Amino acid sequence: MTLINPDFITFPIQETTNEDLILVNDSSTNHTFFHNYPSNPHIHAVRVFGGKNYSQSYKIISLGRYPTKVKYTKKEKGVAHKIPDNYQVETMLNGLTVLCKTQYQFSRKVTVKYTIERVDENGQKESRYSLSSAGAASSLFLN
């Protein structure tokens, strides 16, 4: 973990100035994260894929909690992460500011509902969900 103190870093959702940001390199996902969480809810991630840098910014709205019967993400490079219930994060998706949420559903089988939603310029809420992944919900939202 490395501390950096830039003059400023521009996040698509907010500009962060004059604060120490923590730099975290996650070799299992090829992500580099810049943040000062929980003092600042904004996190910026850069991922190298195919020799190109892809960046994404997030604003954590709610970390949620882990239920007794917890679900895990699909393994990527042998790593699976716990999925919290009622996790909410704001980010950009294809130029739109969206809210991504998880919600556990308990019936015979424990499932996680991944929802992508946004409020349009007329105040109308638009959303799509998937029971398989946040990526699948994003794809449905964009189609």
My answer on whether 67 and 131 are in the same domain is yes
Per-residue burial over 15-50, b = 16 or more CB atoms within 10 Å of its CB, e = otherwise: ebeeeebeeeeeeeeebbbbbeeeeebbbbbeeeee
Question: What does the pLDDT read at residue 63?
Answer: 93
How far, in Å, are 5, 42, 63, 99, 107 from residue 104 at the CA level? 38, 25, 14, 17, 10
**Mean pLDDT for the chain overall:** 83
Report how many domains make up the chain: 2
My answer on whether 75 and 36 are in the same domain is no
My answer on whether 53 and 82 are in the same domain is no
My answer on whether 77 and 137 are in the same domain is yes
**Domain span at 53:** 1-60
pTM to 2 decimal places:
0.77
Given 60, 88, 111, the domain boundary residue is 60
Task: Please check the confidence at residue 7 and state whether its pLDDT lies above 70.
Answer: no
Report whether 114 contacts 100 (CB < 8 A): yes
My answer on whether 7 and 52 are in the same domain is yes
What is the per-residue pLDDT across 8-53, written as a single tens digit (0 to 9) for each?
Answer: 444 444 444 446 778 888 777 778 888 888 888 999 999 888 888 8
